[in-house]
Structure 1
Amino acid sequence: MFNIFKLLFTAKKRDKVSDEYVKVPANEINEDLKSHVIALEKLGEKYSEVIQKEYTSKFECNGKKNLKIWICRDIDGDQLPELTSNHCLEVEYRSQVAINFEGFTDEEDAYVYYIQLWYYFRGGRKGIGTLYDLSKCDLEAHIKNQLEVILREV
């Protein structure tokens, strides 16, 4: 009986997560999409900067120093310094809003939480991308909500 409830819960959770993203088939991954990804990342950068300023003192009051919110980009897990949103159509490219603060981890590439913005995966001959859906989701509210969860729990 427990397993049935577990399956129902995880199915609902998966549906919620999939509602936040648009699946982009390989034949639609083009320069037009690239402009959307670049715009989404710029919006994420803007929100990250503003929200970090807004929440820094709240985090410090809770003993969490050096709040950092930024756009993190990688290709196949490698965070290269020269990587920009112009590389978003490269295979295994991923961008996300990352959140961290001092004391959470000693690992340089780990963060408390992240919100994936764009990921392009190609297995075999076909590829697929997943893009954060701004038509259904409010990225600014999503970031703030996660910060409130972190303040309560971590």
Structure 2
Amino acid sequence: MFNKLKNFFWSNQRDEETDRYIIVQNEEINEDLKQHINALERLGERYSKDLESEYKSKFESDGKKNLKVWVCRDIDGDQIQGLTSDQCLEGEYRSQIAINYDGFTDEEDAYVYYIQLWGCSRGRKSIGGLYDLSKYDLKKEIEDTLSEVLKET
């Protein structure tokens, strides 16, 4: 299924940001896709935990306290308590790697930086975008984002 999904990329005119995603049409939104999303989110959770530990002291020595890196999930922008990747095929579900420091709260939109993993818009014509692990290195992208955040004053 994953190889089949790679056939749904944006046109050649896509920019670098949208190039990171496999476009998933309504007929591809199924249980097989759900397994790929679950695996992607588990990988994101592992990378987030490892990189948060690795970068925490670097952030603190730069005066940036309370680094938090995690997989954030919401439906239509609302962070719902207990939302898991099992609900990833629901309409308007979105998951992302979120990064924040200094003053983190559990409130909606509390994170400052993010990397989208999966998002799905359901309506008459459902369409989704899945982070393309076959072309991009998620761990490196998280590390690059953390490095950029460290450079900011």
Same fold (TM over 0.5): yes
Q: How many residues align?
A: 140
Deviation at 1:108, TM superposition (A): 2.7
Alignment correspondent of 2:117: 117
* Structure 1: gaps (5+ residues): 1-13
Q: Kindly indicate whether residue 149 of structure 2 is the aligned counterpart of residue 150 of structure 1.
A: yes
Q: Structure 1 CA distance, aligned partners of 2:127 and 2:46?
A: 27
Deviation at 1:107, TM superposition (A): 8.1
User: Tell me, what secondary structure is at the counterpart of 2:15?
Assistant: helix
Q: Kindly indicate whether residue 99 of structure 2 is the aligned counterpart of residue 132 of structure 1.
A: no
Deviation at 1:15, TM superposition (A): 1.0
TM-score (ref. length: structure 1): 0.86
Greater helix percent: which structure? 1
Alignment correspondent of 1:70: 70
Q: Structure 2 CA distance, aligned partners of 1:132 and 1:87?
A: 17
Alignment correspondent of 2:82: 82
Alignment correspondent of 2:43: 43
* Structure 2: gaps (5+ residues): 1-13
Coordinate RMSD, CA, aligned? 1.7
Q: Kindly indicate whether residue 101 of structure 2 is the aligned counterpart of residue 101 of structure 1.
A: yes
Structure number with greater Rg is 1
Q: Structure 1 CA distance, aligned partners of 2:151 and 2:90?
A: 38
Q: Structure 2 CA distance, aligned partners of 1:28 and 1:69?
A: 30
TM-score (ref. length: structure 2): 0.87
Alignment correspondent of 1:29: 29
User: Tell me, what secondary structure is at the counterpart of 2:91?
Assistant: coil
**107-116 vs 127-136, greater mean Cα deviation:** 107-116
User: Tell me, what secondary structure is at the counterpart of 1:126?
Assistant: coil
Q: Structure 2 CA distance, aligned partners of 1:38 and 1:117?
A: 10
Deviation at 1:102, TM superposition (A): 1.2
User: Tell me, what secondary structure is at the counterpart of 1:96?
Assistant: strand
Q: Structure 1 CA distance, aligned partners of 2:106 and 2:70?
A: 16
Q: Structure 2 CA distance, aligned partners of 1:21 and 1:58?
A: 30
1:94-139 alpha-carbon deviations (Å, 9 max, x no partner)? 0000000114x7783221200000000023x110000000001000
